[in-house]
């Protein structure tokens, strides 16, 4: 019932694969070796063939030419359903079933595989815990009762439910606003270690690719342009297309000229919270505003930040948030970016609020690539 074709992925070899629709090539002569245990990020403009590559790997579509081998076995000879038991797939639109609860959504594949209800529940608890979502609060909810970020996490939870050795993730954080996206990336980076899987991760966002990817594959017009580790791509882009995408100019040559305001995220009013709110009120507001981080203001003075995952775990939720906020580093918008990043790196706080003429103007969240450069 529960047999696996692969307990562990040693390699995926995509050799000279072409897929066309009529006269149009969705993928052209793709050659890509994916190493067991790595996270490889596929980056490229819309229509460049990223989703097609994932769909070829799990045999939702068949190539016209070429072969795909997993652990040296040509997947052409494998039964698609059996193959997919080894693969968790997070599709581009999350794809939760609206009429099913969180428990049913996450458990659907294990149920099909004949797991007992007890085992399903145990594993769902374990995974939700991994994402910092208390099971008792969430398992009975329907997707519409979840925030965007929570829905993304449930989509991911479903993909890892039966612990497949290979994960295909298609823009899993694509629909989120930039700040929430950064938070989910941080969270995912942490659990990536524990997951110990081979992951093919599609994204439009090069910073996300560099942050999460062991290697990054750049695609354009149905073809692979260059693949390598982030530093290799930044230092030795093979053409202007790659250097533009990886931002070699901005990230490298002119980093000394960048100011904090060039690398910060601007603040929107939905992130602002009055210091006299209670934790309970702030939790409710964060749900309403669909955010998981807030900035505490005393009148108009920023004090620090609050995080949803910390508020929800407080014993006494009637405390004012000014008593429990998290301290951050303060930077000036016109400070030099490199020295600001150094300050941030040395502070262990990894979040900075940015002011200009005493007004709060931005927030600086960790950026792996930039931190590597200082």
Q: Which is nearer to ligand ATP, 120 or 167 (CB)?
A: 167
Minimum distance from CB of 307 to Mg ion (Å)? Answer: 31
Task: Report DSSP state, residue 245.
Answer: H
Residues near 76 by Cβ (< 8 Å), separated by ≥ 6?
62, 67, 68
Query: Contact at 8 Å (CB) between 10 and 36?
Result: yes
81 alpha-carbon distance from chain centroid: 27
* Sole window of 40-48, 141-149, 246-254, 311-319 interacting with ligand ATP (rule: CB under 6 A): 40-48
Pairing relationship of beta strands 301-307 and 198-203 according to DSSP bridges: unpaired
Residue 23 interacts with ligand ATP (CB under 6 A): yes or no? no
- CA 334 to CA 300: how far, in whole Å? 20
Residues 48, 51, 151, 203: which binds Mg ion (CB under 5 A)? Answer: 51
Query: Contact at 8 Å (CB) between 49 and 61?
Result: no
* Sole window of 4-12, 28-36, 48-56, 80-88 interacting with ligand ATP (rule: CB under 6 A): 48-56
Token pair for 89: 């797939």
Token pair for 105: 């959504």
Query: Contact at 8 Å (CB) between 279 and 324?
Result: yes
* Sole window of 5-13, 46-54, 139-147, 329-337 interacting with ligand ATP (rule: CB under 6 A): 46-54
Residue 203 interacts with ligand ATP (CB under 6 A): yes or no? no
Q: Which is nearer to ligand ATP, 47 or 66 (CB)?
A: 47
- CA 219 to CA 225: how far, in whole Å? 5
* Sole window of 45-53, 185-193, 354-362, 366-374 interacting with Mg ion (rule: CB under 5 A): 45-53
- CA 267 to CA 354: how far, in whole Å? 9
Chosen from Mg ion, ligand ATP, none, partner binding at 330 (C-beta under 5 to 8 Å by type): none
Residue 47 interacts with ligand ATP (CB under 6 A): yes or no? yes
Residue 52 interacts with ligand ATP (CB under 6 A): yes or no? yes
- CA 114 to CA 341: how far, in whole Å? 51
Minimum distance from CB of 176 to ligand ATP (Å)? Answer: 16
Q: Comparing C-alpha atoms, which of 184, 163, 166 is closest to residue 69?
A: 166
Residues 17, 26, 106, 303: which binds ligand ATP (CB under 6 A)? Answer: 26
Chosen from Mg ion, ligand ATP, none, partner binding at 226 (C-beta under 5 to 8 Å by type): none
Residue 51 interacts with ligand ATP (CB under 6 A): yes or no? yes
Residue nearest to Mg ion (CB): 51
Q: Can you give the binding site for ligand ATP, defined by CB under 6 A?
A: 21, 26, 44, 46-52, 92
């Amino acid at each position: 019932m529960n047999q696996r074709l692969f307990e562990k992925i040693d390699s995926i070899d995509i050799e000279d694969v072409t897929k066309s629709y009529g006269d149009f090539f969705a993928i052209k002569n793709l050659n890509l070796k994916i190493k067991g245990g790595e996270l490889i990020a596929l980056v490229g403009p819309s229509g460049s063939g990223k989703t097609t590559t994932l769909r070829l790997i799990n045999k939702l579509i068949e190539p016209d030419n070429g072969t795909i081998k997993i652990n040296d076995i040509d997947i052409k000879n494998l039964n698609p359903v059996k193959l997919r038991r080894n693969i968790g797939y997070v599709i581009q639109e999350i794809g939760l079933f609206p009429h099913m609860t969180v428990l049913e959504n996450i458990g659907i594949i294990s149920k099909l595989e004949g797991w007992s209800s007890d085992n399903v529940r145990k594993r769902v608890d374990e995974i939700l815990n991994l994402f910092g979502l208390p099971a008792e609060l969430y398992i009975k909810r329907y997707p519409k009762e979840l925030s965007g970020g929570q829905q993304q996490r449930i989509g991911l939870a479903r993909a890892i439910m039966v612990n497949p050795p290979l994960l295909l993730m298609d823009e899993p954080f694509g629909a989120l606003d930039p700040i929430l996206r950064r938070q989910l990336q941080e969270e995912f980076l942490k659990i990536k270690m524990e997951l110990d899987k081979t992951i093919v991760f599609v994204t439009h966002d090069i910073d996300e690719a560099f942050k999460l990817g062991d290697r990054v594959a750049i695609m354009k017009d149905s073809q692979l342009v260059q693949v390598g580790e982030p530093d290799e791509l930044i230092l030795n882009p093979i053409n202007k297309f790659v250097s533009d995408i990886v931002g070699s100019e901005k990230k490298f040559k002119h980093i000394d000229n960048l100011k904090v305001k060039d690398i910060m995220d601007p603040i929107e009013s939905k992130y602002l919270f009055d210091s006299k709110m209670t934790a309970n009120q702030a939790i409710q507001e964060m749900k309403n505003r669909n955010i998981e981080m807030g900035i505490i203001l005393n009148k108009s003075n920023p004090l620090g930040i609050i995080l949803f995952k910390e508020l929800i775990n407080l014993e006494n939720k009637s405390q004012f948030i000014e008593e429990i906020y998290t301290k951050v580093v303060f930077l000036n918008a016109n400070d030099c970016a490199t020295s600001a990043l150094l300050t941030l790196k040395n502070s262990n706080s990894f979040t900075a609020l940015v002011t200009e003429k005493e007004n709060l103007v931005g927030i600086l969240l960790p950026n792996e690539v930039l931190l590597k450069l200082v």
